[in-house]
Amino acid sequence: MPRQELTRLTGRVGGPDCDDDDCPNVYRTKSGSFIVQGDLSDVFVTPSGEGLVEIPEHVLREAVRALGW
């Protein structure tokens, strides 16, 4: 899925954790699911086809505000 098809909920370029689109972010897909961008984590081994990312709490709070929850 191309990034252009996602709604970016967080991560203003130039924000505290963001430099040229390489920052932790939460995106919403057209179907209503979420894509999370963050640092890879290896706290445990995931099933095949899955992965773990770590994002700061303020990014999740920003996403919740963007959705009006």
pLDDT tens for the chain, 69 residues: list them. Answer: 888 899 999 876 556 656 666 788 899 999 999 999 999 999 999 999 999 999 999 999 999 999 999
Res 68: pLDDT: 94
How far is C-alpha 5 from the geometric centre of its chain's CA atoms? 14
Res 23: pLDDT: 82
Residue 26: domain span: 3-67
Number of domains into which the chain is organized: 1
Q: Cα torsion for 35, 68, 23, 4, to the nearest 10°?
A: 50
Res 39: pLDDT: 92
What span, in angstroms and rounded, lies between the C-alpha atoms of 26 and 54? 11
